[in-house]
């Protein structure tokens, strides 16, 4: 097998902006693109291979064709033919809704789906951009319902000013929202289940408000999820991987590189995804497959890859994630 690139799946949204098209160097004229789904096996939004002999196959078709060779033996035993991660870029021109995601147990019971644990890496942030993550103080389910009803729910949430390089892990059950001016990479479980709690009373192009899931969200919310700062602290060092999130669903590291690095995956029983958030580089695997990667692009290395050398062109920032 060889490193795979996919055609981006662009999603126009009520709150989408104008950053994704130029960031990804696309020849598109779409307006209000809120998301680019980079690697997706979500039904109805399946990524299509953009390069090599398997060009044109969908990600689910690739998993069915290559099985453990693509995802790794343990992942294939755990997830079967369901690819476990969804990778996105998100550009919020306006505030996204305040929302929460169910965990695996609740999502399985209600939707026969994975839950949705996710993380954000801030690529860019307009002046004053914020992310909402968790509670500023503990509240009860009764107070939650009252505050949603009277419009004061946002007052008990933790709002964080952001800057490029900030990382937030958002486990299922944590109330959250992406604020206007935030441009992030999102790594998450393969799930499109969102319980929308508050949407700023917005109306769509047809004059209708979007559906809220206030009642469904009660069972998903972790009401004791209170911290002073929900950012993930990490050391900003160059030319070595810095692990920022390690959870049962994915492990993610940041690479800030000006020099060549070789990564040994001989003991790793998983695919590896690289997301380029700044600059450009070349990736060369142990079978001499070579692929270029620039800001806005994502590549999936199959589990058969034993080693990859990353050669930056001047400088590059990458996110590496695997299961």
**What order of strands is seen across the sheet that includes strand 98-100?**
157-161, 130-135, 176-178, 98-100, 195-198
CA gap 159, 131 in Å, rounded: 6
- Taking the chain (323 residues) in runs of 10, the rounded mean pLDDT of each run is 97 95 94 97 97 98 98 97 97 95 95 95 97 95 92 92 97 96 97 91 81 93 91 95 97 98 97 98 97 98 98 96 98
pTM (predicted TM-score): 0.95
DSSP state of 211: P
CA gap 183, 321 in Å, rounded: 19
**Catalytic-role residue among 147, 196, 202, 210:** 196
Which pLDDT score is estimated for 201?
78
Which pLDDT score is estimated for 206?
84
CB atoms within 10 A of CB 207: 6
Which pLDDT score is estimated for 204?
75
For residue 80, the SS3 value is coil
Which pLDDT score is estimated for 61?
98
* H-only helix segments in 26-72: 59-66, 68-71
Which pLDDT score is estimated for 199?
86
147 annotated active-site: no
Which pLDDT score is estimated for 267?
96
CA gap 296, 303 in Å, rounded: 23
* H-only helix segments in the chain: 20-23, 59-66, 68-71, 73-79, 104-111, 141-150, 214-218
């Amino acid at each position: 097998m060889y490193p795979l690139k996919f055609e981006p799946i662009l999603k126009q949204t009520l709150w989408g902006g104008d950053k994704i098209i130029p960031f990804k160097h696309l020849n598109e004229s779409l307006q209000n693109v809120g998301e680019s789904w980079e690697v997706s096996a979500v039904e109805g939004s399946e990524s299509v291979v953009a390069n090599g002999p398997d060009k044109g196959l969908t990600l689910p078709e690739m998993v069915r064709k290559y099985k453990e060779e693509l995802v790794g033996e343990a992942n294939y035993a755990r997830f079967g033919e369901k690819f476990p991660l969804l990778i996105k870029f998100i550009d919020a021109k306006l505030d996204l809704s305040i929302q929460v995601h169910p965990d695996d147990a609740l999502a399985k019971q209600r939707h026969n789906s994975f839950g949705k644990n996710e993380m954000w890496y801030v690529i860019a942030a307009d002046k004053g951009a914020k992310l909402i993550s968790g509670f500023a103080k503990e509240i009860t389910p009764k107070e939650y319902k009252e505050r949603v009803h009277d419009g004061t729910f946002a007052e008990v949430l933790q709002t964080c000013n952001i800057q490029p390089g900030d990382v937030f892990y958002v486990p299922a059950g944590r109330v959250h929202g992406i604020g206007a001016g935030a441009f992030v990479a999102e790594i998450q479980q393969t799930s499109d289940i969102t319980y929308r709690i508050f949407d700023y009373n917005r109306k769509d192009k047809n004059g209708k408000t979007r559906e809220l899931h206030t009642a469904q969200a009660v069972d998903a919310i972790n009401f004791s999820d209170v911290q002073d700062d929900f950012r993930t602290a990490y050391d900003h060092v160059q030319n070595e991987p810095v692990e920022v999130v390690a959870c049962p669903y994915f492990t993610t590291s940041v690479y800030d590189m000006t020099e060549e690095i070789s990564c040994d995956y001989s003991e790793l029983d998983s695919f590896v995804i690289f997301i380029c958030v700044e600059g450009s580089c070349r990736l060369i695997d142990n079978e001499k497959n070579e692929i270029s990667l620039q800001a806005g692009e994502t590549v999936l290395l199959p589990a058969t890859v034993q080693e990859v050398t990353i050669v930056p062109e001047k400088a590059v920032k990458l996110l590496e994630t695997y299961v």
